[in-house]
Amino acid sequence: MPLRRINDFTIRVATVNGSGSQSSNLVLSNAIFRLGIPVAPKNVFPSNIEGLPTWYDIRVTPKGYQCRTREVDVLVALDAQTWREDVAGVKAGGMIVHESTYPVSGETQRDDVTYFAVPFLEMGKKNFPNADLRKYLINMIYVGVVAELLGIDETTVDEAVRTQFRSKPAAVETNMNAVRLGVGYAREHLPKQETFRVERMSGKTEGLLFLDGNRAAALGCIMGGCTVAAWYPITPSSSLCEAFITLAEKYRVDPQTGEKRVAVVQAEDELAAAGIVFGAGWAGARAMTSTSGPGLSLMAEYSGFGYFAEIPGVIFDVQRAGPSTGLPTRTMQGDVAFAYALSHGDTKHIVLLPATVEEAYAFGMEAFDLAERFQTPVFVLSDLDLGMNSWMSRPLQYPEKPFDRGKVLTAQDLAKLDSWGRYRDIDGDGIPYRTLPGTHHENAGFFTRGTGHDEQARYSEDPQTWQRNLDRLTRKHETARQRVPQPIAEEANCSVGIIAYGTTHHAVVEARDILRDDGLGLDYLRVRALPLSPAVADFIERHERVYVAEQNRDGQLYGIMRAELPAHLIARLHSIRHYDGVPIDAHAIAEPIQAAELEPAVVTD
Amino acid sequence: MSTTTNLNIIGLPRDVYKGLPTTLCAGCGHNSITNHLVKALYDFGAQPHRLAKMSGIGCSSKTPAYFVEQAHGFNGLHGRMPSAATGAKLANRDLLVLGISGDGDTASIGLGQFCHMIRRNVDCTYIIENNGCYGLTKGQFSATADAGSKQKNGKINDYAAIDLCGLAIELGATFVARSFSGDGKQLVPLLQAAFAHKGAAVLDVVSPCVTFNDHVGSTKSYAYVKEHDFALHAPDFIMHGKEIEVDYEPGTVQSIELEDGSHVLLRKLHGDYDPTNVMGALGTIHEARERGELVTGLLYVDTKETDLCEREHLSETPLAQLREEDLRLSREEFAKLTTPLA
Ligand SMILES: Cc1ncc(C[n+]2csc(CCOP(=O)(O)OP(=O)(O)O)c2C)c(N)n1
Ligand code: SF4
Ligand SMILES: [Mg+2]
């Protein structure tokens, strides 16, 4: 009898882009999640609207690992183009559900996997006369087939279908009928299989949400009081602004008057989007834009202006694989170093690094407080994996604090002051006071400029004045070091540690378990923002060796650490890099550490 | 304090509308425009605290420092002022947004943003101080330099000029005027009409660069402009609530009512010119160009089109002044939206 794999395997659905498989994949993921079993879906899709291959991996794990895995146990093959490579990618012992007209011979005939042939196309033709709907409904047939083979009950699938089509209830029945066709076919024509099964479990998913990072960030913007959003469409960030628009239309429009408490501009490009953000921020609104690498490049000049003229603004960068247009639909942590120093000259920004949906929401909200507190651009660096994939998430917390609107002088404040200076450091924290246009006081006005300026915002080329201003900006940056989201440490007095950030976190979680099984304990520090907290140096100080894992070729956080930390700590750092465009998996971290840390196994014949 | 100080309609002396001393070259056309702006803002009774002076980069873009020192200024990036002005207006729709740009700032690096500001009809006054060259970077040709015009070093411009007024009208601008820095009589009432207009008001003001583009062979020199200026009408601005005293011959004056109830009176100089007629405006611009003339005056106005804030149905309370209770979901709404498995 083969090894049974209860709630512990990965399903890969291979389809053609544009066939509407996203809905069926979400239904399948959601149904498994509803049974209390942790799921981690990863959509690996092409930069194309229709016709190219696309894969959707649903990882089912009792432990709740959320990172990608390299292994495929159950293949649903509905793309003739990739049939051969898809078959080759299945792990020994796996199963393959496939369109029955695909040839099982030669290379595609493996004796270490089980085949389940289903006449999807024929069933589609017979049952769905409407050719437009057919391709979508064929996908629902495989949901039924897979549900039956794995043991997912019909009620649960029904609930998942209802969730998926909650905005168009009329579609529920049509889709459920297609699901039932699949279930019926599997019952009648396919052999039972007992290797891969799902069984209802408890203790893992209760109270969790199933949400993508972009929608969570959009909600963060709404709750963070964002009133001006400017954007230019780009994958993988578009769904952030689109979700913001959906929320704004629902919650920011007065039902009586139709008046809006928000302005959204689809700008002509990212230069303009950034300009709108800093114009609005200067005039006192909480403003944001969301983009990805190419757009971030265009925002460089305005970001430097925002830094130097000290204007709040929030920029979401949902990172994708670069350089250049790169792989628009693949993920990367590739903009960290660029965003941190975005623009020419002595520029240093605040960068938030969310790892989870919960943080996408919370940092999305907090970014506005930080931007106004520090009067500066704040970058929120998510990535395609976090932004566009659905994740299990702990519930999002309702904000308990009011907005922090920072140091703004009102007309009443000014009436009490003999004088004030826009760029004076009164409090010693590097953060000056500002006034907003429209403030009704004769001393309120000042001249905002990107050129050299003194404490009174007057033009100045004086060397001391210039340097004094840059030093104050450094002081401000140092203040931010303690105020940005601080790292989270998990330590057990190990001598070796690992540092990661963003979505690499999920691979670290699993990698630490793998290494623990090998007898190697690994302390962990997750960095959540730049500038680096002093806690980072303290962590390295406590460890002999520290691995820095990230998803880019050049080790960007590693580079920032090398630039900012003392030499004896730098010597302890080892960089681990993953940069193939698909989300990092646990082995990409565990393997180099095993190789470096563990005694080579004694080889015996 | 002298009691003879003249005060404007909101009780402020003219000095309030002045700024820091100019750092531009003596005789620069931009300085004259600054003076005309001081007069126009004073006459108009603009509230300094409501004024947002926005600009890009260039000699022209420095001028917001030289008027209404009390007001907030935003000297941003080269060619990117329209986007900042758009953001500022959306954030606080009560602001009187006044943008100052140059021909390089608008017609080259900033052409895209200029077009899209017009397309959105952002309520602002947008002045191009047009000298046909890049003053601040020492006199290179700009995209508004006429074909055949000569640079100081003798180089001839081979490329056709971008006519910013024609372009603006083509893009649906709702207020387009051309004037000359040396003609305050014409420019001051046009500026006030632009302040009163609701929507993007574009003023292309030819403003000679005495240092790099005021020689024989330049079509943006004082001498050339004076010689070729073809004024359509003599404008006058009548503040809303003020009586229009017409002592002109009937049929010689056209009166246009602006959105706030004020009027521009256009005393005809050359036959009939109707600035509410798009085709007429475009035709006039083309014909003048063929004749080698610089047509000035209120070229086009449309008082019906809604501006950006209105089209977006923005709340009367400026967005910048909204609070947590206006912006956050209620606890109930939040709970409903984020229920597990919802
Ligand atoms: C991105 C960028 N490129 C180039 C420059 C250099 N630069 C400064 S002003 C200017 C031209 C200004 O010309 P115009 O707008 O006509 O203003 P003028 O000085 O003639 O009034 C240029 C090219 C700059 N500041 N920024
Ligand atoms: S260089 Fe030309 S545009 Fe600049 S200040 Fe001098 S005269 Fe004016
Ligand atoms: Mg110029």
CATH code of the domain in which A122 resides: 3.40.920.10
Report A:201-220 residues touching B (Cβ under 8 A): 206-210, 219
Among A334, A276, A287, smallest CA distance to A501 is for A334
CA-to-CA separations, A151 to A143, A146, A156, A251, B317, in angstroms, rounded = 12, 8, 11, 41, 57
Q: Is residue B327 part of a domain?
A: no
Nearest chain A CA: its distance from B229 CA (Å):
35
- Contact residues on chain A for B74, CB-CB shorter than 8 A: 279, 282, 448
Q: So what's the pLDDT on residue B1?
A: 44
On whether both A429 and A464 belong to a single domain, the answer is yes
Could you tell me if A245 lies within 8 Å of chain B, comparing CB atoms?
no
Q: Is residue B119 part of a domain?
A: yes
On whether both A197 and A324 belong to a single domain, the answer is no
CA-to-CA separations, A10 to A32, A90, A511, B101, in angstroms, rounded = 12, 10, 17, 59
Give the structural domain span for A540: 488-597
Find the CATH number of the domain harbouring A323.
3.40.50.970
Confidence check: pLDDT of A142 > 80? yes
Find the CATH number of the domain harbouring B110.
3.40.50.970
On whether both A31 and A98 belong to a single domain, the answer is yes
Q: Are A12 and A89 in contact (CB under 8 A)?
A: yes
Q: What's the pLDDT tens digit per position in A17-48?
A: 988 889 999 999 999 999 999 999 999 988 88
Q: Is residue A83 part of a domain?
A: yes
Confidence check: pLDDT of A483 > 90? yes
Residue A437: which of B52, B65, B324 has the nearest Cβ? B52
On whether both A250 and A280 belong to a single domain, the answer is yes
Cα–Cα distance, A42 to A389 (Å, whole number): 6
Could you tell me if B222 lies within 8 Å of chain A, comparing CB atoms?
no
Could you tell me if A287 lies within 8 Å of chain B, comparing CB atoms?
yes
- Which residue positions in chain B have pLDDT lower than 50? 1-2, 342
* Percent of chain A topping pLDDT 90: 95
Q: Is residue B149 part of a domain?
A: yes
Q: The pTM is what?
A: 0.97
Q: What's the pLDDT tens digit per position in A262-308?
A: 999 999 999 999 999 999 999 999 999 999 999 999 999 999 999 99
Could you tell me if B50 lies within 8 Å of chain A, comparing CB atoms?
yes
- Contact residues on chain B for A280, CB-CB shorter than 8 A: 87-88, 90-91, 319-320
On whether both A13 and A88 belong to a single domain, the answer is yes
Pocket of ligand 1, candidates B134, B164, B214: which has the most ligand atoms within 8 Å of its Cβ, to mutate?
Answer: B134
Q: What is the mean pLDDT of residues A395-420?
A: 97
Q: Are A427 and A479 in contact (CB under 8 A)?
A: no
Could you tell me if B65 lies within 8 Å of chain A, comparing CB atoms?
yes
A346 CA to middle of ligand 2, Å? 30
- Give me the residues near ligand 3 (ion), CB cutoff below 5 Å: B 102-104, 131
Q: So what's the pLDDT on residue A2?
A: 59
On whether both A361 and A444 belong to a single domain, the answer is no
On whether both A220 and A187 belong to a single domain, the answer is no
Q: Is residue A143 part of a domain?
A: yes
* Percent of chain A topping pLDDT 70: 99
On whether both A498 and A455 belong to a single domain, the answer is no
Cα–Cα distance, B214 to B234 (Å, whole number): 26
Give the structural domain span for B73: 4-311
In this structure, the number of other CB atoms found within 10 A of the CB of residue A422 comes to: 21
Q: Is residue A375 part of a domain?
A: yes
On whether both A242 and A353 belong to a single domain, the answer is yes
Query: By mean pLDDT, which of A432-446, A569-583, B114-128, B327-341 is the weakest?
Result: B327-341
Q: Is residue A603 part of a domain?
A: no
> Please, what is the end-to-end C-alpha distance for chain A in angstroms?
28
Gyration radius from chain B CA atoms: 21
* Residue A207 neighbours by CB under 8 Å, 6+ apart: A394, A395, B340
Q: Is residue A402 part of a domain?
A: no
Number of domains chain B is built from: 1
B78 CA to middle of ligand 1, Å? 6
Q: Are A527 and A499 in contact (CB under 8 A)?
A: yes
Q: Is residue B279 part of a domain?
A: yes
Residue B313: which of A207, A260, A276 has the nearest Cβ? A260
Report A:5-64 residues touching B (Cβ under 8 A): 33-34
Find the CATH number of the domain harbouring A514.
3.40.50.920
State which residue of chain A sits closest to B320, comparing Cα positions. Answer: A285
**Residues A275, B83: C-beta atoms closer than 8 Å:** yes
Q: What's the pLDDT tens digit per position in A97-108?
A: 999 999 999 999
Q: So what's the pLDDT on residue B339?
A: 86
CA-to-CA separations, A106 to A109, A110, A531, B140, in angstroms, rounded = 5, 8, 56, 71
Ligand 1 nearest atom to the CA of residue B136, by list position: 19
CB-defined site of ligand 1, < 6 Å? B 57-60, 78, 102-105, 129, 131, 133-137, 142
**Residues A399, B48: C-beta atoms closer than 8 Å:** no
Q: What angle do CA B233, B234, B236 make, to 5 degrees?
A: 130
Residue A279: which of B87, B316, B324 has the nearest Cβ? B87
Cα–Cα distance, B71 to A441 (Å, whole number): 10
On whether both A146 and A292 belong to a single domain, the answer is no
**Residues A261, B319: C-beta atoms closer than 8 Å:** yes
Mean pLDDT (chain A, rounded)? 96
- Quote the tokens at residue A493: 């007095």
Number of domains chain A is built from: 4
ipTM above threshold 0.95? yes
**Residues A223, B92: C-beta atoms closer than 8 Å:** no
Q: Is residue A69 part of a domain?
A: yes
Q: Is residue A398 part of a domain?
A: no
In this structure, the number of other CB atoms found within 10 A of the CB of residue A463 comes to: 9
In our burial notation (b when 16+ CB lie closer than 10 A, e otherwise), range A293-322 reads bbbbbbbbbbbbbbbbbbbbbbbbbbbbbb
Among B86, B95, B92, smallest CA distance to B121 is for B86
Q: Is residue A400 part of a domain?
A: no
Amino acid at the residue A174: T
On whether both A108 and A254 belong to a single domain, the answer is no
Domain end call among A170, A191, A206 = A206
Could you tell me if A461 lies within 8 Å of chain B, comparing CB atoms?
no
Cα–Cα distance, B202 to B106 (Å, whole number): 11
On whether both A106 and A222 belong to a single domain, the answer is no
Report B:78-97 residues touching A (Cβ under 8 A): 80-92, 94-95
Q: What's the pLDDT tens digit per position in A299-350?
A: 999 999 999 999 999 999 999 999 999 999 999 999 999 999 999 999 999 9
Q: So what's the pLDDT on residue A353?
A: 99
CB-defined site of ligand 2, < 6 Å? B 24-25, 28, 30, 59, 131, 135-136, 209-212
- Contact residues on chain A for B319, CB-CB shorter than 8 A: 227-228, 261-263, 280, 285
Q: So what's the pLDDT on residue B2?
A: 47
Could you tell me if A302 lies within 8 Å of chain B, comparing CB atoms?
yes
- Quote the tokens at residue B179: 């004037």
Smallest CA separation from ligand 2 atom 2, residue:
B209
Q: So what's the pLDDT on residue A146?
A: 98
State which residue of chain A sits closest to B328, comparing Cα positions. Answer: A223
Q: Is residue B342 part of a domain?
A: no
State which residue of chain A sits closest to B322, comparing Cα positions. Answer: A261
